[in-house]
Amino acid sequence: MAAVDHDIAHAHDDHHPTGLMRWIGATNHKDIGTMYLWFSFIMFLTGGVMALTIRAELFQPGIQIVNPELFNQLTTMHGLVMVFGAIMPAFVGFANWQIPMMIGAPDMAFARMNNWSFWLLVPAALLLISSFFVPGGAPAGGWTIYPPLSVQMGMGMDMAIFALHIMGAASIMGSINIITTVLNMRAPGMTLMKMPLFVWTWLITAYLLVLAMPVLAGAITMLLTDRNFGTNFFNAAGGGDPVMFQHIFWFFGHPEVYIMILPAFGIVSEIIPTFARKPLFGYSSMVYATASIAILSCIVWAHHMFTAGMPAAGQLFFMYATMLIAVPTGVKVFNWTATMWRGSMTFETPMLFAIGFIFLFTIGGFSGVICAIVPIDIQVQDTYYVIAHFHYVLVSGALFALFGGTYYWLPKWTGHMYDETLGKWHFWLSMFFFNLAFFVQHFLGLAGMPRRVPDYALQFADFNMISSIGAFGFGLTQLLFLYVVLKCIRGGEKAPASPWEGAKTLEWTLPSPAPYHSFETPPVVK
Partner 1 sequence: MNVVNANSVVMKKLLVFTVVMFVFGFALVPFYEKICEVTGLNNLLQADTLVENPQVDTARWVTIELDANVRGLPWQFKPLQRSVSVHPGEMVQVMYEISNNSNREINGQAIPSYSPQLLAKHLKKLECFCFSKQVLKPNEVRQMPVQFMIESNLPADINTVTISYTFFELGTNNAAAMRDSGNRS
Partner 2 sequence: MKEKKAKLDGGKLLQISGAVFWAFFGVRKQSDLELDASTLTPAQVIIGGIVGAALFVGSLMLLVSLVTS
Contacting positions for partner 2 (CB under 8 A)? 191-193, 282-285, 287-289, 291-293, 295-296, 299, 312-313, 316-317, 320-321, 327-328, 331-332
Residue number with CB closer to Cu ion (254 or 426)? 254
Beta-carbon count within 10 A of 24 CB? 11
- 71: closest CA among 88, 89, 84, 59? 59
Minimal distance, residue 483 CB to partner 1, in Å: 40
> Could you say which of partner 1, ligand HEM, partner 2, none residue 30 binds, taking C-beta under 5 to 8 angstroms by partner kind?
none
Minimum Å gap between C-beta 161 and ligand HEM is 18
Q: What share of the chain is helix, strand, coil (3-state, %, to 5)?
A: 70, 0, 25
Closest separation in Å from C-beta 256 to Cu ion? 9
Q: Which does 1 bind (CB under 5 to 8 A by kind): partner 1, Cu ion, partner 2, none?
A: none
Q: Does 390 engage in binding with ligand HEM (CB under 6 A)?
A: yes
| List 254, 278, 412, 426, residue binding Cu ion (CB under 5 A) | 254
Q: Kindly identify the residues of this chain, within the stretch 393-452, that bind ligand HEM according to CB under 6 A.
A: 393-394, 397-398
What span, in angstroms and rounded, lies between the C-alpha atoms of 181 and 100?
8
How many CA atoms within 13 Å lie on the side-chain side of 19? 1
- At residue 439, the 3 state secondary structure works out as helix
Q: Residue 160 or 394: which CB sits closer to ligand HEM?
A: 394
Of the candidates 517, 509, 521, the one whose C-alpha atom is nearest the C-alpha of residue 107 is: 517
Q: Are 253 and 164 in contact (CB under 8 A)?
A: no
Q: Is residue 299 involved in binding ligand HEM (CB under 6 A)?
A: no
Span from 108-116, 200-208, 384-392, 484-492 in contact with ligand HEM (CB under 6 A):
384-392
Tell me the C-alpha distance between 210 and 512, whole Å. Answer: 34
Crossing angle of helices 283-296 and 197-228, rounded to 10°: 10
Nearer to partner 1, 48 or 147 (CB): 147
Q: Write down the least CB distance from residue 310 to partner 1, Å.
A: 9
Three-class secondary structure of residue 310 per DSSP? coil
Q: Which of residues 177, 381, 430, 477 is near ligand HEM by CB under 6 A? A: 381
Q: Does 45 bind ligand HEM (CB under 6 A)?
A: no
Question: Which entry of ligand HEM, partner 1, partner 2, none binds 282, CB below 5 to 8 A by partner kind?
Answer: partner 2
CA distance 123 to 319: 40
Task: Give the binding range for Cu ion (CB under 5 A) out of 20-28, 57-65, 246-254, 268-276.
Answer: 246-254
Instruction: Give 159 or 260: the residue with its C-beta nearer to ligand HEM.
Output: 260
Rounded to whole angstroms, how far apart are CA atoms 104 and 395? Answer: 31
> Do 104 and 190 contact (CB within 8 A), yes or no?
yes
Comparison of 67 and 152: residue with beta carbon closer to partner 1 = 152
From the CB of 505, what's the least distance to partner 1, in Å? 22
Task: Choose the stretch contacting ligand HEM; rule: CB under 6 A; options: 132-140, 237-245, 381-389, 422-430.
Answer: 381-389
Q: How far apart are CA 211 and CA 24, in angstroms?
A: 30
154 binds, among partner 1, Cu ion, partner 2, none (CB under 5 to 8 A by kind): partner 1
Q: Which of residues 128-147 bind ligand HEM (CB under 6 A)?
A: 144
Max CA distance (Å), the chain: 70
Phi, psi of 185 (to 5 degrees): -115, 15
Binding site for partner 1 (CB under 8 A): 2-6, 109-110, 136, 148, 151-154, 172, 175-176, 179-180, 183-185, 210-219, 222, 226-230, 232-233, 235-239, 241, 243-244, 247-248, 251, 311
* Residue 412: half-sphere exposure toward Cβ, Cα within 13 Å: 22
How many residues belong to the site for ligand HEM (CB under 6 A)? Answer: 24
Residues 354 and 347: their CA atoms lie apart, in Å, by 10
Cα-based angle 172, 31, 348 (whole degrees, multiple of 5) = 95
Give residue 449's region: left, alpha or beta (phi > 0; psi -120 to 50).
Answer: beta
Instruction: Out of 47, 104, 368, 470, point to the residue binding ligand HEM (CB under 6 A).
Output: 368
Q: Which amino acid type is present at position 190? A: M
In this structure, the number of other CB atoms found within 10 A of the CB of residue 238 comes to 11
State which residue, 245 or 265, has the beta carbon closest to partner 1. 245
| Contact positions vs ligand HEM (CB under 6 A) | 144, 257, 260-261, 303-304, 322, 326, 329, 365, 368-369, 371-372, 377, 380-381, 386, 389-390, 393-394, 397-398
